[in-house]
Structure 1
Amino acid sequence: MPTLSPAARLYSQARRNLLPRHERLVAVAGRWQHEYLAHLGIRPEVTLRCGEVAHDAALDISERALARVHPGLSAPALLSVVRLPEWRPAQVLRPDSRLVLVADGIEYAGNLGTLIRTADAAGADGLVLTNATCRLTHPKVFEASRGTVLTLPVLTYDSVARARRDLTAAGFTTYVADPAAAVDYLAVDYGPGKAAIVVGSEGSGVAAEWRTPDLTRVSIPMRGRADSLNVAASASVLLFDARARMR
């Protein structure tokens, strides 16, 4: 079996999410993804093409190589590896920032991507990740976020304590989504302040470090038989409401 080129091997590793986290490389494939990259003016690390695909900077690969690096995809195909931006707290938790989403312990790539897309749509200033299980570089994150993982500022913290410290120092009041909370989310008075809305993992909710008495816990009343919403749906309700009432 012929050896893959370094560019094709890099794509294969990125698609399988095998590269080190610190490299921040994500595999993207398909027409709309590349149109979005072009719209943003982002130049991929490498681009591969198989078949008749218009792209001046792409490296040609055979159909056999395509089957190895991306099983199930057929020619014509366009594949790239893109580096995600790296953000610092000072760039996200700025004096003029008003609203951030905090996602704790998110396990599934589809949910993480949808949270990013939701935060972007609601006009949030950024996303803060704590106890992260899923990688930002998972290809499904890119797909579910519709590419907004490239533009929405995302901070990843190795501890809840550090995230809480930075949010407090930046003047944010934190509201924790909890289905068991007595405070209805519609009863929250955001006033002219800065809000950080925390949502938790799909299974156990937020970590204990977010369930302290000094933080306001809010619930979304369930009118039917379900006891809770999907994490991305909960974030959507809370973010759009907060944004609307902060104006």
Structure 2
Amino acid sequence: MIGRSGNPTLNEERFEREGYYYNDQETMTIGGTVNKSFMLLALLIGAAVISWVMFYNGYEVFPYMIGGAIGGFVLALIISFVPKAAPFLAPVYAILEGFFLGALSAHYEFLYYGITMQAALLTMCIFLGMLLAYKTGLLKATAGFKRGVITATIGVALVYLLSFVLRMFGVAVPFLHDSTLIGIGISVVIIIIAALNFILDFNFIEEGAENGSPKYMEWYASFGLLVTLVWLYIEIIRLLSKLANRD
């Protein structure tokens, strides 16, 4: 586990498997990764606005939400195993996730007015806070730090997988989805884990640029960063909905 990003889509072994070096015009750069990250985020927001507007204009957006979630998951798996496909599939992933998040956010906004803006602002603040912590050296992606975040991330993934399987049989995992104090505490812990993944993502991007990784890895790294951002946003909006239910 040492030397990997906590984000399952980003790990340093991926750079090693791609393994060769290009000239300066063909290698990954931090600036190029940042630009592509903004491009993917713009695509996601654009698609989210479309499904949001459709929801509030009376259109049935449930198929967009489910289709976006399933399609995004499938593409995420493909990109994770085939990084060279990232330049072509990462933009499609961003659009599908946008449809999903737009419909999901509209549903939450309909139930709890103002929750979407709160979730978006908190997500951005946490992202910027993690970036500042990384740049100043307050949080460093040491081997022990990576092991801890990776282990916690895998644990969360397994819990969600178990919850999904049990729900198919009409069984709910205690506290995971309710608004009790324990349920809220679980959400807070998961949000912290998601936020810490940013540190590993930043480290992955920085080391990829330093190692002269292939240019297409900019798309791959940008995709991985977007995965973490989407995860964090979903967890925050879920936490806010739990808090709203207690009022």
**By the TM > 0.5 criterion, same fold?**
no
Q: Which has the higher helix share?
A: 2
| Bigger radius of gyration among the two | 1
Asked which structure has the greater RCO (Cα within 8 Å, sep 6+), the reply is: 2
Q: Which has the higher strand share?
A: 1
Q: Normalising by structure 1, what TM-score?
A: 0.22
Q: Normalising by structure 2, what TM-score?
A: 0.22
